[in-house]
Amino acid sequence: MPDLTRNAVDVLPEGTLAEQLAGDRPLRVKFGIDPTTADIHLGHTVVLSKLREFQDAGHQVVLIVGDFTARIGDPSGRSAQRPLPSPEEIEANAATYREQAFKVLDRERTELRFNGEWLRMEPEALLGLLAQTTVARLLERDDFQRRMAAGTPIAALELLYPLLQGYDSVAVEADVELGGTDQKFNLLFGRDMQSAYGQKPQSILTMPILVGTDGAQKMSKSLGNYVGVTDAPEEIFGKLMRIPDEAMPEYFRLLLGEEVPAGPPNEAKRELGRRIVARFHGEAAAGPAEEHFDRLFVRHEAPEEIEEIDLTPYVGEGDAGQVHLPLLMAGAFEISSSEARRLLKQGGAKLDGEALGDERLDLDPADLDGRVLQAGKRRFRRLRAPA
């Protein structure tokens, strides 16, 4: 039997999970995730991988997609109210989460639920739920204490969040709930809710929060320091190669379950990159992803396949008929004109590998035909003049 508490931070109440595991029935192991962004990233897979360990040990995983709680916003770890996605965004994100989670979990052994099933309740049921706690209990959480001390508003909706997440545990009759360390208050609150509704309280297990590729803050799409499980193989490999050396032991421990290998940090990053690419895209994708990285960042060559851009929409009117570079870059790379000008001024824009300055911003389309325009280190477009 594997040690299901390996790498865990909290396993509470002490001794309870061990007693549960010694029982004669599979446990119902719950994990909830709110579809507030479009993709699952490697930070999410730390808990998902632990859930997979429970599955492999014969237990029933209950994955709850928080299509209802996403409309409120989890205040965990927040210094201000979380921006809320639209209902349309939540629905689209929920569909992608449903598929992406099964890149880690066994689809056949996962009970997939949406908490809108039970949280769209009648007013009487909602009042009964609100009666199960006090405002003082809800304000005990560290996040709220810090915000009150700083004079930062706390929305009434945010106070509801732990109540609703706790009721999820009641609805699915959870024996165990998993989450990141920032979820500890919510997970313990689930025990309170189960007791209030006459159920045996769940045990909880929290996992470490994976630091982002910046090595400083937790992995988050909003911070731009994430690696998405559906990112292209070369994107995954390239992002992992940027991780600071000091973060490598954490990545190996939480993502691979191993100690970082001895030797140069660069070689450890390459091994990590190959193995994570293989996990989400197959073994055959690892080698080409590494070669793509070497082509761009070791040999400083353009990639083999480059998206082509028709210059027709960018050719100005009049006899000159020239292409204005800031406008072209904005359209080709989906950036603002000010960002394009900044890249030009700082030497971050190149044409066939040669840096473009901001002295000459208008060029003849015939002189651009077939050439490769580059923005930063990783974005390339091949230019095609009008026929």
pLDDT(186) > 80: yes
What average pLDDT does the segment 222-230 reach? 87
83-122 burial string, b = 16+ CB within 10 Å, else e? eebeeeebeebbeebeebbeebbeeeebeebbbbebbeee
pLDDT(53) > 50: yes
Give the three-state DSSP class for 61.
Answer: strand
pLDDT(339) > 90: no
pLDDT(81) > 60: no
Q: Which residues have C-beta within 8 Å of that of residue 108, sequence separation ≥ 6?
A: none
Token pair 């731009």 in the structure block, residue: 224
Mean per-residue pLDDT over the chain, rounded: 89
Pairing of strands 362-363, 354-355: unpaired
Percent residues over pLDDT 90 in the chain: 49
CATH topology for 308-384 is 3.10.290
**At residue 382, what are phi and psi to the nearest 5 degrees?**
-95, 130
User: What sign does the CA torsion over 276, 277, 281, 282 have?
Assistant: negative
CA dist., res. 251 & res. 43, Å (int): 10
Domain boundaries, the chain: 10-207, 233-298, 308-384
107-149 tens-digit pLDDT:
999 999 999 999 999 989 989 988 888 888 888 878 888 888 8
pLDDT level of residue 76 (50, 70, 90 thresholds)? low
Q: Which CATH architecture does the domain made up of 10-207 adopt? A: 3-Layer(aba) Sandwich (3.40)
Is 308-384 in the same CATH topology as 10-207?
no
Tell the burial category of 351 from Cβ atoms under 10 Å away from its Cβ (0-12, 13-18, 19+).
middle
pLDDT(42) > 80: yes
What average pLDDT does the segment 336-364 reach? 85
pLDDT level of residue 80 (50, 70, 90 thresholds)? low
| Closest by Cα among 344, 222, 335, 236 to 282 | 236
**Lowest-confidence region among 5-19, 56-70, 183-197, 216-230:** 216-230
CA dist., res. 37 & res. 45, Å (int): 15
Percent residues over pLDDT 70 in the chain: 95
Compare 349 and 80 and report the one with higher pLDDT. Answer: 349
pLDDT level of residue 79 (50, 70, 90 thresholds)? very low
pLDDT(302) > 80: no
pLDDT(254) > 70: yes
pLDDT(77) > 60: no
What token pair was written down for 14? 């002490």
